Structure 1
Amino acid sequence: MPLGSLFSARLRWSLAGLGLAVLVLTAASMVVTGEHPLHAAYVTLLDLFAINDPIGHGRARQILQLLNGLIGLLILPVLVAATLEAFGTFRSASTLRRPPRGLAGHVVLLGLGKIGTRVLARLHEMNVPVVCVEEDPEARGIPLARRLKVPCVIGDVTDEGVLEAAKIGRASALLAVTSVDATNLEAALYARSLHPLLRVSLRLFDDDFATAVYRTLRAAHPGALTRSRSVSSLAAPAFAGAMMGRQVLGAIPVERRVLLFAALDVAGRAELEGRTVAEAFRPGSWRVIALDTSGPAERSADLASPGGQGGGGLVWDLHPGYVLRPGDRVVLAATRHGLGSLLGRRRREDGTRASGA
């Protein structure tokens, strides 16, 4: 462990000053007595620790002995301070840091569960200063915060003084990502009462509740930036995509909605087959954005995987007058309801044909 991490700068300067004083006294003893440097240093140390006999003659030597005794008295409190600082350093190595004085422009992260831990790691990678607030000292993200030396406040955020200890008044943003909606909302409201222009991002479970909170906070604090997101709502497209197989290529959250990208065969879809790209466009539901030009035998089941475009490729600049043929496969940008409508109609039509046969 480096010396700088054990002792404070003030203590290091004190030790250096005392060491320099001992060297000066040793040199003075050499000049006065004419002794060998090693013997002069030995006599000086005896005088420092007050274990040498008093000098009966030689005024200069007596003055040196008195000075050595005075320096020896100064050494004792410095040694005690060094011992206490070293002990405190070793003990604090296994404890959490407290927010330093004067901290400003940081992000207050509320909750160090599964999501909070990932957010903390990402913010640290981006070199964003963070102060964490967590009620459970055994939470998942506590070891990570300790390892990254991120300041933490252990306590219930709804208790008075906890957010103040995290320097919320000088923070740039609040990320409330605990698993309890009421805690996140209460923390956001209290933080806004202390810092009206604070940027706030809330994690909420119910999407309707998240929408209501967003509108209320935006109306109450129009000059501040507010975001509330339902994690379950944002994760729903990924689960839906997994259930649909390889049709859904990805999902992008846009404000309070999710935009899906899916690969669909044109054959058997009345909304697409025989229509131009412009005619197939349904505002608010779906839009054709690309055409897979690979042949039916060369097509991969997953366009999102490397090499998934087979021997052809994707044409992105489709002419609005291009007529979609039964053998085509297209990439759509669609809402959840729009994609569900396309897939649902196809299943209903297939079921009707099967029952008629």
Structure 2
Amino acid sequence: MLTTGEHPLRATYLTLLDLFAINDPALDEPLGRQILQLLSGLVGLLLLPVLLAAVLEGLGTFRSGTALRKPPRGLSDHVVLLGLGKIGTRVLARLRELHIPVVCVEADPEARGLALARRLRVPVVLGDVTQEGVLEAAKIHRAHALLALTSADTTNLEASLYARSVRPDLRVVLRLYDDDFATAVYRTLRATHPHALTRSRSVSHLAAPAFAGAMMGRQILGAIPVERRVLLFAALDVAGHPHLEGRTVAEAFRAGAWRVLALDSASPEERRPGPATAPAPGSPERPSGLVWDLPPTYVLGSEDRVVIAATRRGLAELLGRRPRDRTGA
């Protein structure tokens, strides 16, 4: 505007054209105008990378809001979770509820648990855990524990063995399908690394009591996994069970098979289908009537109902030897 005497708006317009290098060369213009055009074009070249960097930074910030996080450089004392399927997703949600730091490793970029990991801002390493460098990217050498929860037994075992080679004292929990295989792996790892904490769990073995309880109805009150075994709690009518009927509480006990825990003191007509069932709607509230401190000399009668703790084999023996009724049912 000072050198050419143009109107301020037109001078601004010409300057912007020079900055973006889209103006005509000022060949027939005064010397001051030509110098300003050269300076404006040089400034425009310098501003172009700055503008491009600003645009890319904005796009990168948008992507990072929906992208998977990478493990921080100084992360330590965390849990490495392998597999984000059904079980892995539930375990991840529970660990975050407990505010435990987690790094996930998943080979499938479409796994169902990735959405949860992204929402919880949990670091995820995408890759095959059996490939070199994947567990290192998850900072396995500084981890507190390893949870191998993929659906492939061989993958879980291979990852656990490699993690133990990196850190022998690492805590490891393995998900294995076959119970016999899980038992063999557990004993082998325990013998190889006696100072480390090792657990191998068979999903079918842990789920079996729930299915068995559902099939047997209200007779099964609950099931508790104890190391490699499952402890069942059941309500049984003493009548028809020769191992219980007419015997004292001490005589009815069989080590490693079953044990009488409590007696339902309610009369037969007032008993609920199961001691743990809720009363029917509209019925008066009654106490459970369970007597837990039974004397060893108490004789179990045919009209009694007891709560027992038993192994699967012990309960099967109790139920399998029950005599049939007259109809043969």
Q: 1:147 aligns with which of 104, 114, 119?
A: 119
Following superposition, the deviation at residue 81 of structure 1 comes to 5.6
Following superposition, the deviation at residue 305 of structure 1 comes to 2.7
Residue 186 of structure 1 aligns with an amino acid whose one-letter code is E
Aligned to 2:301: 325
Unaligned 5+ segments in structure 1 are: 1-49, 51-73
Do the aligned residues in 2 keep the contact of 1:299 with 1:310 (CA within 8 Å)? Answer: no
Do the aligned residues in 1 keep the contact of 2:185 with 2:200 (CA within 8 Å)? Answer: yes
Following superposition, the deviation at residue 306 of structure 1 comes to 3.2
In 2, Cα distance between equivalents of 1:312 and 1:212? 43
| Local SS of the residue matching 1:279 | coil
Do the aligned residues in 1 keep the contact of 2:275 with 2:288 (CA within 8 Å)? Answer: no
Unaligned 5+ segments in structure 2 are: 1-18, 20-45
Q: 2:203 aligns with which of 231, 248, 251?
A: 231
Q: Which has the higher helix share?
A: 1
Moved over 6 A (4+): 74-80
In 2, Cα distance between equivalents of 1:210 and 1:113? 20
Following superposition, the deviation at residue 311 of structure 1 comes to 5.0
Do the aligned residues in 2 keep the contact of 1:99 with 1:165 (CA within 8 Å)? Answer: yes
In 1, Cα distance between equivalents of 2:287 and 2:227? 37
The correspondence of residues 1-357 of structure 1 with structure 2, limited to 5 A, is 83-307=55-279, 310-346=286-322, 349-350=323-324, 353-354=326-327
Do the aligned residues in 1 keep the contact of 2:82 with 2:105 (CA within 8 Å)? Answer: yes
Identity %: 74
| Local SS of the residue matching 2:200 | strand
TM-score normalised by the chain length of structure 1: 0.75
Do the aligned residues in 2 keep the contact of 1:251 with 1:258 (CA within 8 Å)? Answer: yes
Following superposition, the deviation at residue 140 of structure 1 comes to 1.1
Following superposition, the deviation at residue 293 of structure 1 comes to 1.1
CA RMSD of aligned residues (A): 2.3
In 2, Cα distance between equivalents of 1:138 and 1:312? 50
TM-score normalised by the chain length of structure 2: 0.81
Residue 134 of structure 1 aligns with an amino acid whose one-letter code is E
Do the aligned residues in 2 keep the contact of 1:265 with 1:329 (CA within 8 Å)? Answer: yes
Aligned to 2:41: none
Following superposition, the deviation at residue 287 of structure 1 comes to 0.1
In 1, Cα distance between equivalents of 2:201 and 2:300? 38
Following superposition, the deviation at residue 168 of structure 1 comes to 0.4
> Which has the higher relative contact order, 1 or 2, with Cα contacts under 8 A spaced 6 or more apart?
2
Following superposition, the deviation at residue 75 of structure 1 comes to 9.8
Aligned to 2:12: none
Following superposition, the deviation at residue 310 of structure 1 comes to 4.8
Do the aligned residues in 1 keep the contact of 2:221 with 2:234 (CA within 8 Å)? Answer: yes
Do the aligned residues in 2 keep the contact of 1:294 with 1:311 (CA within 8 Å)? Answer: no
Residue 298 of structure 2 aligns with an amino acid whose one-letter code is Y
User: For each residue in 1:110-144, what CA deviation from the matched residue of structure 2 results, as whole angstroms up to 9, or x when unmatched?
Assistant: 00000000000100101010000000011111101
User: For each residue in 1:294-335, what CA deviation from the matched residue of structure 2 results, as whole angstroms up to 9, or x when unmatched?
Assistant: 111111113223349955421111111111111111000000
Do the aligned residues in 2 keep the contact of 1:298 with 1:310 (CA within 8 Å)? Answer: no
